[in-house]
Amino acid sequence: MRFIDEYRDAALARTLVKRINRHSTRPVRLMEFCGGHTVTIMKHGIRQLLPETVEMLSGPGCPVCVTANGDLDKAIALAEQPGVIVTSFGDMLRVPGSRSSLQKARAGGADVRVVYSTLDALEIARDNRAKKVVFIGVGFETTAPTIAASVLKADEEGVANYCVLSLHKLCPPVIKALLDSGEVKLNGLVCPGHVSSVIGSRPWEFAAHDYGIACVVAGFEPLDVLQSVDMLVGQLERGEPTVEIAYSRGVSREGNTTAQKMMARVFEPCPASWRGMGSVPGSGLRFREEYGKYDAERVFDIDPGPTLEHKGCICGDVLRGVKTPLDCKLFRVTCTPEHPVGPCMVSSEGSCASYYHYESA
Amino acid sequence: MKVPEDERILLAHGSGGKLSHDLVEKGFLPSFDNPLLSRLDDSAVFDVKGRLAFTTDSYIVTPIFFAGGDIGKLAVCGTVNDLAMSGATPLYLSTSFIIEEGFLLADLARIVTSIKQAVDEAGAKVVTGDTKVVNRGSADGVFINTAGVGVIPEGIDISGSNARAGDAVILSGPIGEHGVAIMSEREGLKFASPVQSDCAPLNRLVSDMLDVSREIHCLRDPTRGGLATTLNEFAAQSGVGVLIREDAIPVSDAVRAACEMLGLDPLYVANEGRLVAVVGPGDVEQLLDRMRANKYGRGAAVIGEVTDDHPGKVVLRTTLGASRIVDMLVGELLPRIC
Amino acid sequence: MCLAVPVQVKSIDGGEAEVEFGGIKQKISIVLTPEVRVGDYVLLHTGYAISLIDEEEAKETIKIFEELALLEDA
């Protein structure tokens, strides 16, 4: 597989590991923001290969995991309305909300369908004109432009029965909030590669300039992650935090301006509620007035019921990097992939799911 | 079985009356023709000497027809293989059909042909069966149950609890093909050359292996849950650790690509024509030679070993040289895979 | 969920393209990368191309790894 296999070369990986071990003298704490990076690190046992001076923390970069219970309850409430087809990415289905989940709603008779793409959701809308089709819009800046594109397509074609529940989140504001909270002292950030393909590397510059955090935009193969750790260690050893792009084959400083414009045409930033962090200013996306008729929150009167949090679930702490899954009393005991209590165990990019599946030996 | 193209199964086909008899006599009998079956008594009656292996499985795969096979072939191979994994020579099978009203007779004919081909290849016979028909909507096309009986040669004791430290773990060929073939069909993935299910009867491969070695301690076909689950079963049953090397596990490029696209891990994807053997270290070379000479063992390779370390756990040494635990499959990777 | 797979564009038809990955063919939307041409590689995410892959940069990255390998072994 081109652009994948080359970046999994074991011999080159060993070289990078040797280099990191040789260069690293001072203890540093790095956060890999993105759930995808956590998966790569756990799957290939990268933590084991790094020197003791390098500590890796997992961050809140899993859009499913950071969706607040109250928002998930909205999606479930929509599913339970008559004449509604809810379409969603697969990961959302098993996440427990306050009382139920999309999967449980489906078992109870709701029409909930897993789709791989908004293109599929639009198809379902075209084929079911008598019903309202809602797409649960969960994702970061990687996904938001595709949702925007689907809204524009619906508008162009007159698919009036299609709408989106916008639960999209933006990454740079939450990084700022994490750094502002001072809860976790970070030295470096492994920046999300595919989010950055869209937004560019520029939005990370504030972290280096204003907070002295070393930043490297990383791809998702083992060599990509190792290269990024090597570059971060290099910046920190030299005491010169800046933003570098390791994932140069997919990321530029400016990003994909077409995608950015499309996102901005349909959506505008707003405050959003992140699991474990409460409301973070400017970190969410809401529909602009002009496309309001595709906003599920305007189309429907949604009553999600009271929001309840699960006792003992520390997903919020795990997402902020304050605790690891191993610190959670429920991990592997009552919270397992088969019977998840919190979203970090359900999502394919959740920290707890990664720690569970790829336990180091 | 020759049928007009659009003729369909009716409830009456399952009622035991004239249509049922016609279905059996004109549909099943000619394909499965053998003296035990043709008597059409309530039971097949036969003498068997020796230690018997007996197994049953139900088949609910969807889609019914897929690249490399169909539910009929699967129904035979699955049961034949379960017998073979005890070291048994498969002798007699039963096939029971639960068919949805409206199912095309032409499709049933295709399935019956597949069953016949698989049974002939395995050298076994279908000696008894049953057919029920349920209302439209009460079954998904057709469900099949097969049970099978086989004889285990003297002196063979193969069980998941027999693995011991020092044993080698051998895999008969590349993993993930059945699961990917099914998923590709379901997800509408189009391949330049489609991945074929590896569905195959393995009894002759097993008897070839038994010819050259009496140190075969465990045998299992990694079906639902994949290779990872089977190895975990051995580790648990035998109270040993299993260590495997990522770079030793054969996976085809097409399966790798499909798993990448579908977000699957080949270690957990179902196989229907592969076996895992845990064998004494002294017999590895001759086993590999013999397996590779059989058409279903060409890709045979040693993928790891049994150890006293980490009993009950399976550990994978990654290509990067780190080690991690490989758990049993949790939850359902791919529903209705077999 | 931020999974994106590198695929090659085989043909283009308006806002859609047929792409190939490891022998698998798919139809995807290219409205987010209208500048793409046949033969280019793109990152595919949930049915859309979200970015072009810069092959020169890709080669450069591998070259860097290989040079580092030589340095380490020396």
| Exposure letters A22-48 (e unless 16+ CB within 10 A, then b) | eebeeebebbbbbbbbbbbbbbbbbeb
Mean pLDDT to the nearest integer, B278-292:
98
Which of chain C's residues have a Cβ under 8 Å away from the Cβ of A4?
A: 5-6
Beta carbon pairs, B and C, within 8 Å: 33
Q: What is the pLDDT of residue B30?
A: 87
How many A/B residue pairs have CB atoms within 8 Å?
62
Torsion-angle region of residue C22: left (phi > 0), alpha (psi -120 to 50) or beta?
left
Q: Which two tokens stand for residue A130?
A: 């008598």
Subunit partners of chain B (3 or more CB pairs within 8 A): A, C
Average pLDDT, chain B: 93
Computed over every residue of chain A, the mean pLDDT equals 95
The answer to whether B194 and B69 are in contact (CB under 8 A) is no
Q: Considering only residues 193 to 222 of chain A, which have any Cβ-Cβ distance to chain B shorter than 8 Å?
A: 222
Give the residue-averaged pLDDT of A123-137: 97
B142-180 per-position pLDDT tens digit: 999 999 999 999 999 999 999 999 999 999 999 999 999
- Is residue A17 pLDDT above 70, yes or no? yes
Measured CA distances, A93 to A76, A335, C2 (Å): 10, 16, 17
Reduced to 3 states (helix: H, G, I; strand: E, B; else coil), residue A258 is helix
Cα(C29)–Cα(C42) distance, rounded to whole angstroms?
11
Contact of B112 with B72, CB cutoff 8 Å: yes
Is A338 within 8 Å of B330 when comparing Cβ atoms? yes
Average pLDDT over residues B50-55: 97
The answer to whether B255 touches B180, Cβ cutoff 8 Å, is yes
Measure CB to CB from residue B323 to each of A14, A45, A336 and give the nearest one: A45
Distance from CA of A114 to the nearest CA of C (A): 12
CB contact under 8 A, B257 and C23: yes
Query: pLDDT at residue B34 above 90?
Result: no
Judged by phi (left if over 0) then psi (alpha if -120 to 50, else beta), residue B320 lies in alpha
**Interface mutation vs chain C, best among A67, A146, A150, most C CBs within 10 Å:** A146
pLDDT grade for B332, boundaries at 50, 70 and 90: low
- Per-residue pLDDT reduced to its tens digit, B309-318: 999 999 999 9
- Per-residue pLDDT band at B81 (split at 50, 70, 90): very high
- What per-residue confidence (pLDDT) applies to A23? 94
**Percent of chain B surpassing pLDDT 70:** 96
ipTM score assigned to the predicted complex = 0.94
User: C32 and A259 in contact by Cβ < 8 A?
Assistant: yes
pLDDT above 70 for A288: yes
Q: In this model, does residue B333 exceed pLDDT 80?
A: no
CA distance C13 to chain A (A): 16
Is residue B336 scored above 70 in pLDDT? no
Whether B279 contacts B213, CB under 8 Å: yes
pLDDT digit string, tens, across residues B234-256: 999 999 999 999 999 999 999 99
**Confidence category of residue A352, pLDDT binned at 50, 70, 90:** very high
Q: Is the Cβ of B256 closer than 8 Å to some Cβ of chain C?
A: yes
Contact between chains at B320 and A356 (C-beta distance less than 8 A): no
Give residue B338's pLDDT.
67
User: By CA distance, what is C33's nearest residue in A?
Assistant: A258
Residue range A349-358: average pLDDT? 90
Tell me which chain B residue has its CA closest to the CA of residue C6: B261
Mean per-residue pLDDT for A127-140? Answer: 97
Mean pLDDT of A158-164: 97
Task: Determine, for residues C5 and B192 on separate chains, whether the beta-carbon distance falls below 8 Å.
Answer: no
For B253, the enclosing helix (H) or strand (E) is helix B253-262
Per-residue pLDDT at B223: 95
pLDDT over 80 (residue A54)? yes
Q: What is the pLDDT of residues B197-214, one digit of tens each?
A: 999 999 999 999 999 999
Query: Kind of pairing, strands A267-274 and B168-171?
Result: unpaired
* pLDDT confidence of residue B38: 84
Looking at the complex, does the CB of residue B190 fall below 8 Å from at least one CB of chain C?
A: yes
Report percent pLDDT > 70 for chain A.
Answer: 100
In a 3-state reduction of DSSP, which class is residue A240?
A: coil
Examine the pLDDT at B337 and tell me if it is beyond 80. no
Residues of chain C with confidence (pLDDT) below 70: 1-2
Q: Write down the pTM of the prediction.
A: 0.89
The CA distance from B48 to B281, in Å, is: 34
More confident residue, C10 or B3: C10
Q: Is the pLDDT of residue A294 over 60?
A: yes
What local confidence, expressed as pLDDT, does residue B169 receive? 98
pLDDT of residue B153: 95
Q: What is residue B334's predicted lDDT score, i.e. its pLDDT?
A: 59
Residue A219 has pLDDT above 60, yes or no: yes
Stretch B82-96: mean pLDDT:
97
C-beta atoms of C22 and B189 within 8 A:
no
Q: Tell me the per-residue pLDDT of A35-50, one tens digit each, with 9 for 90 and over.
A: 999 999 999 999 999 9
- Nearest by CB to residue B258, choosing from C3, C20, C24, is C24
Pairing of strands C16-21, C24-29: antiparallel
Taking contacts as CB-CB distances below 8 angstroms, the residues of chain C near B263 are: 3
Q: How confident is the model at residue B231 (pLDDT cuts 50, 70, 90)?
A: very high
For B:208-267, CB contacts with A below 8 A are 247, 253, 256-257, 260, 263
Write the pLDDT tens digit of every residue in A92-124.
Answer: 998 999 999 999 999 999 999 999 899 999 999
Interface list for C 9-28 with A (CB within 8 A): 21-22
